[in-house]
Amino acid sequence: MEKMISSCGLDCATCDAYIATKNDDNAMRTRVAKEWSARYESPIKPEDINCSGCREAGAKFDWCNRCPIRTCVIDRAYETCAECGNLPCEHNSGLYQAVPEALKNLKDLR
């Protein structure tokens, strides 16, 4: 599977919201909504599970639409954080501690 690197370095191609959208899989949307509602202690409905990918045209999962990392990348007219000379920074260092693969993906883009 080809990677689809988001603004922050996560691989959208492995995201359940992207996969459910790509496959138009309502059963997966229902499962993901239930799992994410419990994990993030926030009500998420199956119809919320739609995303074309962070850097692609189309639908965005609600969090991705307001993600401060994505907003920073867009405000600076970058494609990803890999273009920033201040990587990692206060916006994304917590993400890279939790998901080191995201930082590796960005370094691979350089």
pLDDT in tens, 7-21: 999 999 999 999 999
- What is the C-alpha to C-alpha distance for residues 23 and 52, in angstroms, rounded to an integer? 11
What is the structure's pLDDT at 41? 93
The pTM of this model reads 0.87
> Taking the mean position of all CA atoms in its chain, how far away is CA 2?
16
- What is the C-alpha to C-alpha distance for residues 8 and 12, in angstroms, rounded to an integer? 10
pLDDT in tens, 78-87: 999 999 999 9
Closest CA to 10 of 102, 83, 74, 92: 102
pLDDT in tens, 65-77: 889 999 999 999 9
